[in-house]
Structures are given as structure tokens and as C-alpha cells.
Amino acid sequence: MDFIEILKAVLTLLSGIGIFLIACQMMSSNLEAASSERLKKLFSKTSSNPLLGVGIGAASTALIQSSGATTVMTIGFVNAGIISLYQAATLIYGANIGTTVTAQIVALGMFGGGGISTTMIFSALAGVGAFLMMFSKKSTWKTTGGIITGFGMLFVGLSLMSGSMEAFAAQDGVKSLLASIGNPLLLVLIGAVLTAIIQSSSVMTSIALAMVVTGLISLDQGILLTMGSNIGSCVVAILAGMTSSLNARRTALIHLLFNCFGVALFLIAGLILNLVTNGISYGSVFAKLFPGAPQTQLAMFHTFFNTVTVAVVLPLTTPLVNAVCKMLPEGKEKNAEPAMRLKYLDENLLRTPAVAVGQVRREILRMADLAMENVDRSLQIITQMDFSEKENFDKTEQELNFMNQAIVDYVVRLSEKNGLSDRDHVYLATTYRSARDLERVGDYAENIVEYAQNLKNIDEQFSDDALYEISQLKALLHELFDQVCIAYRDNDAEALAKANEIEEQTDEYTDMMEENHIKRLGSGICTATVGAQYLSLSSNTERIADHLINVAKTIR
């Protein structure tokens, strides 16, 4: 056994793995940027329909070429309470199917003999993409260049890994050692451990493909390593779930149990097949189906394995979710006072920036709803002199202050991520002011409650005419709020135009309120002290309208 040759092969393998991982990351981030709108639309359609969930999981993984990213994103959604455990399970099933696309691409690149192989052709795309990235001025072309470069580098890394495998195959001692590993459970364990270390099932599957093609291991050994990689891929989800909510940890456990069940099912079925048919294995079956193409044989088994596992487990999703809930029951945190947190934004979603951008919009709209709730409470308090909602008002005001800072902090970190389109960057730049505007809406509502407290201290209240005017003003604010939300949520220019008209009506109405107040003051209907609170209320509601329209104007 030549130590130097083995050392060179090991170093080449490490180089190939490094390039392959960087290529996956580059391709994934640029694919996210290019397909950000599609990803947002996909996950906005998540429903309780299991087949739709599987389809969304598979499509999103195929789009961004990372089952780990899809799984972590799913955990983020569960942690934020956006989707149920049942929905999360179906998304994870789909991600397992979507990840097999990478193996099919890698297998395609392994065709060709001593002349110009597909690996050479695909590797050359790294240079083409690099030129596009360097010399293009448009961001769309730069993103396209990033995708092409990542795709090409994928095969550069694959070529290095294949070369190292050929060097290993030339060493009789290494071949004999690997050939001696025939225990299925041991091979599955090796595949799981190596995948857990690398944290990429795509890399492990690609290594297995290269080992099978070079003859370093048999197809059956490659199949067992690939099955093990499915279990090892769960480490990403487990790490993400450990620092998240109970339901997020349950989601990670569902992922682990699903993959372990699939491996156990195929190991048992393989054993029965071998005993009943006197020696037929998965490898011999797929070798006959795809003769002369070991890379295709393994890639096709990988797709078959994940698809069949999903088909078997999908009808059992409800019992699986129930079992996981019993394994990880509600603890003391169920009755504990919930800490303030963002509902739609989660640390795990930072792994998929394009989707996180869509969640920022949802969080801003949630903040708008909370701000408007407090406006309603403040107007109810001052018109009815009923302070029963004061405690809820104070809690919401604290939450608005928290959200203002938390959203800004989150957006700062999100803006630094790769995989965002120019449009996403422009949108994120507006969110700082939107959060501040909504926080100011809450502050003005707080002022109105203070005016109510002042009236209570002097045992006074507004006249019937003033109360009627406030009710009309409240109706205008709600009309404005509805159009602002439509404009902001849907980028609706028509709704923005309507919102502008209503905001102008609000300004005119508050001016009229001040004129009417002066008349009432002259007639002795209200006192100067009560009038001062009324004028302050009118001024504050006008500013509330100004801050609401500012949020809608960001769509420009």
C-alpha cells in the first residue's frame, strides 16, 4: 500500500468536497434570488392538503437545491406558528423527494469515456458563469452567472472526488478493506455518520456515486451508504430544532423518524427479497433496469427509495404526528407567561432569505393590526370613559415597542444575506421606516388614553356632538387602514390612490372638528379644559393617518 498515493488521494478528496460544498452554496443562494417570488408563492399556498404539501416541499427543494434549507425553513414556519405539525411533515416528505434531483444531475455529469465527458462540459460552465458575474452590469445576469458558476463548480468538485476514488481503487489494500465491509447496518451507519459530519446528503450521495462508478465499492454498498445519508441529513434539522420551540423540536423528530422508518423498511424488504429469491438484491435489480450505467442505477434507486418511503408514510402522517407529540409532551412552558416574540420571523428562516423577506411583510402587517387595535381601544376609552381595556392596551403598546426594535434587528441581519434580489433589497430598506411609523401610531394612541385619564381626573367628558364627530373620524381611519393594508400586502397602486384620497378627507375632517369645537366653546357647550383634550385628540388622529399612509407609500 503506497502511503504517498493514499495521502494524495485523501487531499484530493477533501479538495473535491470543499469545492462541491461551495458550489452547492453558491448555486443555492443564487437560485433563491432568481426564484424568490416563486418560493414566496409556493409557501403562501401551504395548506392541510397532504399532496400539496409534498409537492411544495419537493418543488422548493428542487428550486434551491437544498433539502437542508427547506427543512430548516419548515422548522422556522412551525416555530413561528404559521403551519401545523401535519403540514410540516408533508413539506419534509416532499423535500426528501426534491433532494434526489441533485443526484440525478450528478449522475448525468458522469457519462463519457476517455474523450470529452459530460463532466468536462459541465465543469467548463464555471468559467462561463464567472465571466457573466464579472462583466454583467444587470443583477439578473449576475445572478444567472452565479447559478451557472455554481453548477459548473459542482462538477469540478465531482471530478476531483472521482479522481481520488480512482486513486483509491488502484490500491489493492483499500479495495480489499472496503470490500470486506458487507454488514448492511454498518454501511448505513457509515453513510449516516459521514453525512452528519459533512452536513450534506448531496455530497455523501455524490461520493457514493463516484465510488460505485470507479469500482471502489459495489452498487449494493453504494445503495446502503445512500440510505444512511438520509438519516445523517437529519442532523441539520435536529440542530435547528434544539434551540427552537417544542413544535420545532417535534418537527425535527418527525424528520428523523421518517428517514429511519424508510431505511428500516427497505432493509427488511431487501432481506426478504434476498431470502425469497435466493440472492437477488436492490443492486442486481437496478443493474438490470439500467445496464452499463452504475451512476444512473444508484441515482434511480435514491429517487425510488425516497418516493416509495413518502408513499408509504403519507397515509400514516396523523398517527406519526400523534406519536411524536406523546414522545415530546407539553411541559411547564405551556402554562408559562409567553415571552414577546415575532410571530412570522424566525432565526431558521434566515437560511432562506428570499422566503424570509415575504415573512417580514407579514410581520409588518401584523404590527399594523396591533397598532390599529390600540387606536380602537384608545378611542373607546376616551369616548366611553371605560378603562377596562387599559391592561390589554398597555400590553399591546409594549409589544409594539418590542416589535419595532426586533424587526429592525432581524432585517439588518437579513439584508446581509446572499440570495436576495435587488427588489428584495429595496423592499427591506423601507421596512425600517414602516416599523417606526407603526410604532408612532401606537404612541399617539397612548397619548389619547392619557387625554382620557385627564378627563377622568376632572370628572368631565366630551359632548354628544364631539362624540359623534369622533365616531365619524374613527370610521375614516378604518377605511384608510383597510386600503393601506391592501396596498402594502399586494403592492396595489389603486389601493394606494384610494388611501391617499381618504387621508386627505381625514385632514379635512380634523380641520372641521377644530372649527366646530371653537363654535361649541363660544356657545358654552364645552369647557376650555375639555376642549384642549379634544383638540389634542384631533391632532393625534391626523398624525396617525399620516403614519399609516407612510406605510402604504413604501410600495412606490
Quick one: three-class SS letters along 351-371?
A: HCHHHHHHHHHHHHHHHHHHH
Average pLDDT over residues 422-436: 91
pLDDT at 336 over 60: no
Structural domain includes residue 334: no
In a domain, 420, yes or no: yes
Confidence of residue 555 (pLDDT cuts 50, 70, 90): confident
DSSP 35: T
Q: Which of 167, 204, 322, 185 is nearest to 267 (CA)?
A: 185
Residues 545 and 440 in one domain: yes
Q: How high is the pLDDT of residue 40?
A: 61
Residue 199 has pLDDT above 80, yes or no: no
pTM of structure: 0.72
Q: What's the confidence (pLDDT) of residue 43? A: 65
- 212 pLDDT exceeds 60? yes
Grid cell digits, residue 138: 444587470
Kindly state whether residues 408 and 490 are assigned to the same domain.
Answer: yes
pLDDT category of residue 48 using cuts at 50, 70 and 90: low
Are 251 and 124 in a shared domain? yes
Backbone phi, then psi, for 203, in 5-degree steps?
Answer: -65, -45
341 domain residue, yes or no: no
Q: Both 237 and 308 in a single domain? A: yes
Q: Is residue 220 part of a domain?
A: yes
Query: Above 90 in pLDDT, residue 548?
Result: yes
How many helices, marked H, and strands, marked E, lie in the chain? 23, 0
pLDDT at 324: 92
Please say which residue of 261, 294, 326 terminates a domain: 326
pLDDT of amino acid 541:
93
Confidence of residue 493 (pLDDT cuts 50, 70, 90): very high
- 500 in Cβ contact with 532 (< 8 Å): no
Is residue 63 a contact partner of residue 35, using CB atoms and an 8 Å limit? Answer: yes
Band of residue 483 on the pLDDT scale cut at 50, 70, 90: very high
Which pLDDT band, with edges at 50, 70 and 90, does 428 fall under?
very high
Percent of the chain's residues with pLDDT above 90: 40
Tell me, yes or no, whether 331 lies in a domain: no
How big is the chain, counted in residues?
A: 556
Is 338 contained in some domain? no
- Of 296, 326, 356, the residue at which a domain comes to its end is 326
12-16, 80-84, 372-376, 388-392: lowest mean pLDDT where? 80-84
Give the lowest-confidence range in 384-398, 414-428, 446-460. 414-428
Pick the residue with more confidence: 412 or 352?
412
Query: Helix or strand or coil: residue 479?
Result: helix
User: Residue 329: its pLDDT value, please?
Assistant: 86
Per-range mean pLDDT, top range of 61-65, 195-199, 387-391: 387-391
What is the predicted pLDDT for the residue at 311? 94
Q: Is the pLDDT of residue 313 over 90?
A: yes
pLDDT of residue 531: 83
Same-domain status, 81 and 216? yes
Q: Does residue 48 share a domain with residue 159?
A: yes
Q: What is the mean pLDDT of the chain?
A: 85
pLDDT of residue 200: 78
End residue of a domain, out of 326, 355, 376: 326
Q: Domain check: are 169 and 239 in the same one?
A: yes
Domain membership of residue 336 (yes or no) is: no
Tell me, yes or no, whether 35 and 182 share the same domain. yes
Is residue 232 a contact partner of residue 204, using CB atoms and an 8 Å limit? yes
Give the amino acid at 310: V
Confidence of residue 376 (pLDDT cuts 50, 70, 90): very high
Q: Do residue 318 and residue 414 come from a single domain?
A: no
Most confident of 123-127, 167-171, 321-325, 456-460: 321-325
Q: Report the number of distinct structural domains present in the chain.
A: 2
Determine the structural domain holding residue 137 and report its residue range. Answer: 3-326
| DSSP code of residue 180 | T
Q: Are residues 388 and 490 in the same domain?
A: yes
Q: Are 372 and 308 within one domain?
A: no
Tell me the CATH number at 452.
1.20.58.220
Answer yes or no: is 81 within a domain.
yes
Higher pLDDT pick, 232 / 36 = 232
Q: Are residues 301 and 366 in the same domain?
A: no
Residue 114: pLDDT band by 50, 70, 90 thresholds? Answer: low
Give me the pLDDT at residue 202, please.
81
